[in-house]
């Protein structure tokens, strides 16, 4: 593995720094899943996302953000007992214990249950909670006592409940002996991404595959970088409908014995008979009989025959890519077969077109040529070997031309890919999440900064890339 920092000249004596890492083989790369393990980490993670909302997102778009209740659910027995007591009217006990909601189906995930209770029972007026029932009031105050709830207010006149999951962590704090760590996937982050009660801040989405095993399914009709076991690399749009889906040892084939519904085609399933399985990642998160099921932004709905024996929490596996040794699906391509990409090929939601069905990431910049930011990319060189690069972004608290990087547009990322002689490459998650650590050290600066001293403010991420 080799790493270097290249400096590109821009107009008006501005510069762009780029860190480039060359690897010897795709087998070196693996996925790094991060998670908070303690209540203290959960509270810190909630505070991190709250700061992103309050300091960056809401000030940039105040009129599109509602009044928001952001919360995390401590994973301890006492909090679980409180939740069960608050949800008792809807709890079903039998062979399986779950919360039964007429609108959302049968649910076992505690954070989803808490989201349903708060959504049905809490409204914000002038930034203060008003409760519709005693169960929501008790749950809210129990969370408040533990420091697990924050209010962040935009100017759009509505209330939004924002659950923060325990999926994300700080890359710099894990796998300390790793040779390389880099952030990878988009993840659920803003209120438009939290399209349903099933969506939680920190949930990664988009294909990731290692040695033929699909660890996260493809979504959103985006391009993916795929590497066959023989070393051939290519970019292809791949959809979850292209795969076989197995739940409880039963295989479902989309278009034959099952139907798949995703965003952005629709926000809810049609009113059709059958059993609707709400799936996120490799887990069934809800089961609902009958139609009009909300489709999660971070997953999809699989509709099967009514008699299927599936319960929330069941594992899901995906089959059909056994010859792929590595695959990743995040942003748009920047170079395909040696030809620079000049426009969006993958689908992205435009935040200003609110009449459309939102799907993540909702705040992705839509100007391909001009929107500059910190960016990440991964690709293959002329010999098929992996290359990652990080284009440093502007510091968000200030900028000095000629000393600080400008940030790169997607067009400029394509130009960098061409300069590096890459054959195929796709963008990874950029912005404030963009970073790479080589032997535990950042060669460049994160664009998010701490107000006290302008130092790097690392964001939590749920999923990264690692060379151990």
Please give the backbone phi and psi of residue 377, each rounded to the nearest 5 degrees, phi first.
Answer: -150, 160
d(CA 274, CA 232) in angstroms, rounded, equals 41
Q: Same domain for 43 and 179? A: no
Q: Same domain for 215 and 252? A: no
Q: Same domain for 327 and 181? A: yes
d(CA 294, CA 26) in angstroms, rounded, equals 38
Q: What is the pLDDT of residue 3?
A: 98
Q: Same domain for 130 and 158? A: yes
Instruction: Mark which of 163, 197, 227 sits at the end of a domain.
Output: 163
Q: Same domain for 24 and 44? A: no
Q: Whats the size of the chain, residue-wise?
A: 468
3-state secondary structure of 113: helix
Instruction: Mark which of 289, 319, 349 sits at the end of a domain.
Output: 319
Domain count, the chain: 3
Q: Same domain for 276 and 140? A: no
d(CA 283, CA 122) in angstroms, rounded, equals 28
Q: Same domain for 192 and 75? A: no
Residues 6+ apart with CB under 8 A from 103: none
Q: What is the pLDDT of residue 318?
A: 98
Q: What is 21-90 written as a DSSP string?
A: EE-S-GGG-EEEE----SHHHHHHHHHHHHHHIIIIIHHHSTTT--EEEEE----SHHHHHHHHHHTGGG
Q: Same domain for 43 and 132? A: yes
d(CA 431, CA 429) in angstroms, rounded, equals 7
Per-residue pLDDT of the chain (468 residues; tens, 9 = 90+): 999 999 999 999 999 999 999 999 999 999 999 988 888 888 988 998 999 899 888 998 899 899 999 999 998 889 999 999 999 988 887 777 889 998 999 999 999 999 999 999 999 999 999 999 999 999 999 999 999 999 999 999 999 999 999 888 999 999 999 999 999 999 999 888 999 999 999 999 999 999 999 999 999 989 999 999 999 999 999 999 999 999 988 999 999 999 999 999 999 999 888 899 999 999 999 999 888 999 999 999 999 987 788 999 999 999 999 999 999 999 999 999 999 999 999 988 887 776 689 899 987 777 899 999 999 999 999 999 999 999 999 998 888 999 999 999 999 999 999 999 999 999 999 999 999 999 999 999 999 888 888 899 899 999 999 999
Closest to 207 in 3D by CA, of 190, 219, 192: 219
Closest to 386 in 3D by CA, of 397, 395, 377, 373: 377
Q: What is the pLDDT of residue 309?
A: 86
d(CA 364, CA 371) in angstroms, rounded, equals 10
Instruction: Mark which of 163, 182, 210 sits at the end of a domain.
Output: 163
Q: Same domain for 158 and 172? A: no
Q: What is the pLDDT of residue 352?
A: 73
Residue 135's CB: how many other CB atoms inside 10 A?
Answer: 20
Q: Same domain for 147 and 227? A: no
Q: What is the pLDDT of residue 316?
A: 97
Q: Same domain for 150 and 195? A: no
Q: What is the pLDDT of residue 356?
A: 82
Domain that holds residue 349: 2-35+168-236+323-467
Query: Is the CB of residue 408 less than 8 Å from the CB of residue 421?
Result: no
Q: Which residues sit opposite 462 in a β-bridge?
A: none
Q: Same domain for 352 and 216? A: yes
């Amino acid at each position: 593995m080799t790493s270097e920092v290249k400096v590109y000249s821009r107009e008006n004596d501005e510069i762009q720094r780029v860190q480039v890492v060359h690897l010897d083989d795709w087998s070196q790369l693996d996925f790094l899943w991060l998670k908070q393990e303690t209540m203290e980490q959960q509270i810190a993670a909630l505070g991190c996302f709250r700061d992103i909302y309050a300091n960056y997102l809401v000030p940039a778009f105040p009129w599109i953000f509602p009044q928001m209740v952001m919360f995390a659910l401590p994973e301890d027995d006492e909090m679980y007992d409180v939740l069960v007591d608050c949800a008792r009217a809807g709890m079903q006990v039998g062979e399986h214990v779950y919360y039964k909601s007429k609108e959302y189906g049968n649910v076992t995930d505690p954070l989803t249950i808490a989201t349903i209770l708060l959504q049905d029972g809490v409204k914000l007026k002038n930034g203060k909670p008003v409760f519709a029932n005693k169960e929501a009031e008790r749950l809210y105050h129990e969370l408040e006592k533990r420091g697990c709830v924050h209010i962040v207010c935009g100017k759009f006149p509505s209330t939004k409940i924002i659950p923060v999951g325990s999926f994300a962590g700080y890359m710099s704090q894990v796998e300390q002996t790793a040779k390389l760590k880099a952030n990878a996937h988009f993840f659920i982050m803003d209120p438009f991404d939290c399209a349903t009660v099933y969506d939680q801040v920190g949930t990664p989405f988009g294909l990731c595959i290692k040695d033929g095993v699909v660890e996260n399914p493809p979504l959103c009709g985006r391009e993916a970088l795929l590497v066959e076991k023989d070393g051939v690399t290519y970019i292809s749009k791949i959809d979850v409908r292209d795969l076989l889906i197995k739940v409880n040892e039963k295989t479902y084939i989309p278009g034959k014995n099952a139907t798949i519904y995703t965003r952005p085609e629709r926000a809810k399933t049609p009113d059709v008979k059958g059993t609707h399985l709400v799936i996120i990642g490799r887990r069934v998160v809800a089961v609902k009989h009958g139609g009009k099921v909300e489709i999660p932004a971070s997953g999809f709905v699989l509709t099967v025959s009514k008699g299927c024996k599936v319960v929330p929490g069941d594992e899901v596996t995906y089959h059909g890519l056994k010859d792929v040794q590595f695959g990743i699906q995040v942003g748009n391509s920047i170079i395909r077969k040696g030809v620079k990409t000049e426009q969006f090929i993958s689908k992205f939601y435009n935040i200003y077109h609110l009449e459309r069905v939102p799907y993540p990431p909702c705040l992705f910049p839509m100007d391909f040529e001009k929107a500059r930011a910190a960016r990440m990319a991964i690709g293959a060189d002329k010999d098929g070997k992996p290359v990652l690069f990080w284009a440093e972004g502007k510091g968000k608290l200030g900028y000095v031309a000629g000393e600080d990087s400008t940030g790169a547009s997607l067009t400029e990322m394509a130009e960098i890919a061409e300069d590096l002689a890459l054959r195929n490459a796709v963008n990874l998650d950029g912005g404030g999440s963009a970073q790479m650590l080589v032997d535990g050290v950042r060669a460049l600066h994160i664009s998010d900064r701490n107000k006290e001293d302008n130092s790097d403010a690392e964001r939590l991420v749920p999923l990264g890339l690692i060379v151990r």
